[in-house]
Structure 1
Amino acid sequence: MRRMWPLTVRGTGALALAVGCFILAGELGVVELMYIGVLLLAMLAAAASSLYVVRRSDRVTRSLSPDVVAVGRNALVTARIGVRTALASPPGVWRDTVPDSLGGRAEGVFPALGSGLRAGERVVEISYEVTGMRRGVHSVGPLSVTSTDPFGLARRSTVFGEQTKITVAPAVTDLPPLTDYAGEAGGTLHTTTNQLGQGADNLVARPYVSGDSMRRIHWRASAHQGSLMVRQEEQESTPEATVVLDRGVVRWAAEALRAPGADPGFEIAVAAAVSALTRLTHDGYAVEVVDTDGTELAERIDGGDMTEVERVVNQFATLTARRGDQLPQLAHLFAGVMTGPVVLVVGRFDPADADAVAPIPHHSTMPILFAVAPRGDALERAVEAGWHVARIDPDADLSVAWASAAERGVSDVLG
């Protein structure tokens, strides 16, 4: 932090006047001017010394409400500053360091404090609002408090080095339910709610055998057993859904690999994935969130478990792209499987990619494809294969894209 000049405008003027008095006293031989100069310097020294005697602050802690802020949402930051002061201190100005990824003005008036010889440490509480501007984990701080002496001649800035991590989660858009489109999604909230909990209780994991779909791999059971295990087919008809987010960096800007929030295209894709997850879970589907190579991005979420959805959304605050490109092999994950809605979110989408994922709609009751950067006639080919498609960009309205794709089968949403 830039070092602050210790004198105010008034104090700087007093210093200049003292120097002028010394010069004139030597030139004119007026001894009284020398006394005035010494008096001014003594006042400045006393003013500066009082600031170091008056206040000694030891710590600062911050809290956030809510604990995680979403992109585009506001949160209240409350900072508590522990202060020890031997003498009464005048008011000052506080300023907290807020990064560009968190919008907000963090400054205000620091209150005057009375003598604290017997009171010990006192806590000054300040608060301000921040807005989530970019997904990721960001640091707030350090905080500085600038005080002046009672005569306004000198000032001192105290910097508290503590920083607080603030998590900015992806924005979740409220999407309309697929049950509005009768016969398309393969299940309703009413029938699903009556079955919630049955599938999870009767789920049996068995060893993987050749020919089993990779999508049926039970990763948690595999970790316990030390070998691949697959989910045994449930006896109940609990509706299932799958959200696929293509993280292959070849389909995004290179920045998407380095840090969350760096590529606007990847950000709208993440927002689309978590919004679809929220909608489908709310409607009673048991939802899996996977990458195009079959890697689970979150454990299977039971229908209606919105607490788990919130945890996954917060977990996606640090999600980035990865090396590789597995989209052409995605269809193998659904081979021999019939499932409910499948939501595929991709970046660059070529005609060859449309041909590669063409088999998937035959295994889904509602295949929806979001493409951030479609090329050529890729979307048209996807529609011919049975996909309900939408083109989205960072300024797109996801709820309109979702509704249009589900209702008409093709949508080109740009704003």
Structure 2
Amino acid sequence: MSGVRRSDPYDDEGPGPVREGGLWRALGGLTTRGRSFLAAGIAAGACAYVLGQPDLLRVGLLLAVLPLACVLVVHRTRYRVSSTRRLSPSRVPAMSQARVHLRVENVSRLPTGLLMLQDRVPYVLGPRPRFVLDRVEPGGHREVSYRVRSDLRGHYPLGPLQLRLTDPFGMCELTRAFEASDTLTVVPRVDPLPMVRLVGESAGYGDSRTRALALAGEDDVIPRGYRHGDDLRRVHWRSTARYGELMVRREEQPHRARCTVVLDTRQSAYHGAGPDSAFEWAVSGAASVASHMLERGYACRLLTDTGSCVPGPDGPGGSGGFGDDSSEAAGLLLEALAVVDHSANEGLSAAYDVLRGGQEGLTVAFLGELDDEQARLAGRMRQRTGGAIAFVLDGRDEGAGAEGPLRTLREAGWTAIQVLPGDHLADLWRQADRYHQHEGAGR
């Protein structure tokens, strides 16, 4: 949920938004009814002067003075009102709804009149919500809420909240605005993926885990003190008896497996736009794979064709951009994918320069249209010590031109899967596992 945002737009002593002009500008707040009364009063006064009817002049004065008096009253209104906006949740997947809660509190000693609220929201989130609040007693508050939904990922500003004041006769209406605003983050849709054992992956924890000092002998063990959460099977009983406290083996600490998700963002590699475009499918796929691997205990990072890496070198993990804190890394990855856009790059050389460092682990790539040169370059991205899976989205005649790049990637050791319109990532994830098993059986 977002933080609390407050402002007091009608507090003469406290900070608030700039008041919108003086009395002359307040006259612009006359409603159709107010303008009609004023015009009728002026017309009645003119007729009374021409016809010499003093009674008609009194009626004209009443009609003209009433809207002007309402303008003066509304203009002089100085309510002290605070507002609070709360997003639930503040980060929502695309095509899902979020609820915005508004709380308006009267912090003055006088009751308010009729208040009309309108919150500013971008067009893609839906129509601007409007609410009418009855009289709010001193120290009282009112709470309202509305829903927003976006099919497009990104950052969307909410607010500032606008408050419209009106008189009991509906002659004048003035709009004032709070200062505070919030940001709703719409992240890519994350699809659940099945649990399969992919080519080249090794679990970070389990029977096949890599140990830091696996070849150390019993006499070479360097124990450390027991920490909350350590597996009791790692207790080194000889050291425990020697020191009189629980000690665990250092060599029992597993090496966490790593995964790099490569996202091709080149504008020339994709065709179409909108929520159902190939590029949005690739962004959603990258988010799904990254989330899935983090849930499985992997240290995961996102790499684009521009060479940018999330988490960054100094982020969680601090080693080549791999995030060790799953929750923090997942948040960073989704935030980055929420705003990722097409790049002007023509090739994948920047991503290749990052990957050729030889970081061990699984590589999962989402690639757009590839020519022969870029297909060969992508083939060399495969880590020698880890597995590599590529999902190729080629829009040329529904993928008819992708056979060459797919063959090049497979010859380089990739498990290359062609993505066609309407394909689901979960099915392709299983297909990658079956393809690897078939290749392994054929060797």
**Could you state the TM-score of these two structures normalised by the residue count of structure 2?**
0.66
Q: Distance in 1 between matches of 2:356 and 2:176?
A: 64
Most deviating of 398-407 and 156-165: 398-407
Partner of 1:153 in structure 2? 171
Q: Distance in 2 between matches of 1:176 and 1:107?
A: 44
Q: 2:290 aligns with which of 277, 299, 323?
A: 277
Kept in 1, the 8 Å contact 2:90–2:183? The answer is no
Distance 1:111 1:185, change over 3 A: farther
Kept in 2, the 8 Å contact 1:103–1:133? The answer is no
- Deviation of residue 195 (structure 1)? 5.0
* Identity value in percent: 26
Distance 1:185 1:176, change over 3 A: farther
Partner of 2:322 in structure 1? 300
Deviation digits for residues 44-101 of structure 1, max 9, x if unmatched? Answer: 2222223234452455442222232332222222233454566544323211110134
- One-letter amino acid of the structure 1 residue matched with residue 332 of structure 2: R
Partner of 1:357 in structure 2? 378
Deviation digits for residues 175-223 of structure 1, max 9, x if unmatched? Answer: 22233x6xx454458727x959x669xxxxxxxxxxxxxxxxxxxxxxx
- One-letter amino acid of the structure 2 residue matched with residue 301 of structure 1: G
What is the SS of the residue equivalent to 1:312? helix
Most deviating of 37-46 and 50-59: 50-59
Alignment of 1:1-400 (within 5 A): 5-57=28-80, 59-83=82-106, 87-103=110-126, 105-114=128-137, 116=138, 119=139, 123-179=141-197, 184=199, 186-187=201-202, 191=206, 195=209, 238-248=256-266, 251=269, 265-292=278-305, 295-298=308-311, 299-302=321-324, 305-322=326-343, 324-328=345-349, 339-359=360-380, 363=384, 366-373=387-394, 375=396, 376=401, 377=403, 378-383=405-410, 385-392=412-419, 397-400=424-427
What is the SS of the residue equivalent to 1:23? helix
Kept in 1, the 8 Å contact 2:119–2:158? The answer is yes
Distance 1:97 1:27, change over 3 A: same
Distance 1:341 1:281, change over 3 A: same
What is the SS of the residue equivalent to 1:191? coil
- One-letter amino acid of the structure 2 residue matched with residue 289 of structure 1: L
Q: Distance in 2 between matches of 1:199 and 1:77?
A: 49
Partner of 1:211 in structure 2? none
- One-letter amino acid of the structure 2 residue matched with residue 143 of structure 1: L
Partner of 1:219 in structure 2? none
Q: From the two aligned structures, give the one with the greater strand fraction.
A: 1
- One-letter amino acid of the structure 2 residue matched with residue 127 of structure 1: S
Kept in 1, the 8 Å contact 2:115–2:166? The answer is yes
Distance 1:338 1:235, change over 3 A: farther
Unaligned residue ranges in structure 1 (runs of 5+) = 201-233, 256-260, 410-415
- Deviation of residue 343 (structure 1)? 0.6
**Could you state the TM-score of these two structures normalised by the residue count of structure 1?**
0.70
Q: Distance in 2 between matches of 1:155 and 1:262?
A: 40
Q: Distance in 2 between matches of 1:6 and 1:89?
A: 19
Deviation digits for residues 323-374 of structure 1, max 9, x if unmatched? Answer: 5455257667666959553211223322332233334558376432123345
What is the SS of the residue equivalent to 1:300? coil
- Deviation of residue 243 (structure 1)? 1.4
What is the SS of the residue equivalent to 1:301? coil
Kept in 2, the 8 Å contact 1:242–1:288? The answer is yes
Q: Distance in 2 between matches of 1:236 and 1:402?
A: 27
Deviation digits for residues 79-126 of structure 1, max 9, x if unmatched? Answer: 334545665443232111101343465222223224x4xx5xx54433
- One-letter amino acid of the structure 1 residue matched with residue 89 of structure 2: P
Deviation digits for residues 290-345 of structure 1, max 9, x if unmatched? Answer: 3447653223134x934432333224434345554552576676669595532112
Distance 1:407 1:113, change over 3 A: same
Distance 1:263 1:247, change over 3 A: farther
Most deviating of 343-352 and 35-44: 343-352
Deviation digits for residues 9-36 of structure 1, max 9, x if unmatched? Answer: 4333322321331232133222111000
Deviation digits for residues 225-271 of structure 1, max 9, x if unmatched? Answer: xxxxxxxxx9966543221123455546899xxxxx99955443332
What is the SS of the residue equivalent to 1:363? coil
Kept in 1, the 8 Å contact 2:370–2:394? The answer is yes
What is the SS of the residue equivalent to 2:369? strand
Deviation digits for residues 381-406 of structure 1, max 9, x if unmatched? Answer: 43455533445589764334433444
Q: Distance in 2 between matches of 1:22 and 1:177?
A: 85
Q: Distance in 1 between matches of 2:307 and 2:323?
A: 16
RMSD: 4.1
Q: Distance in 2 between matches of 1:20 and 1:395?
A: 69
Kept in 2, the 8 Å contact 1:63–1:79? The answer is yes
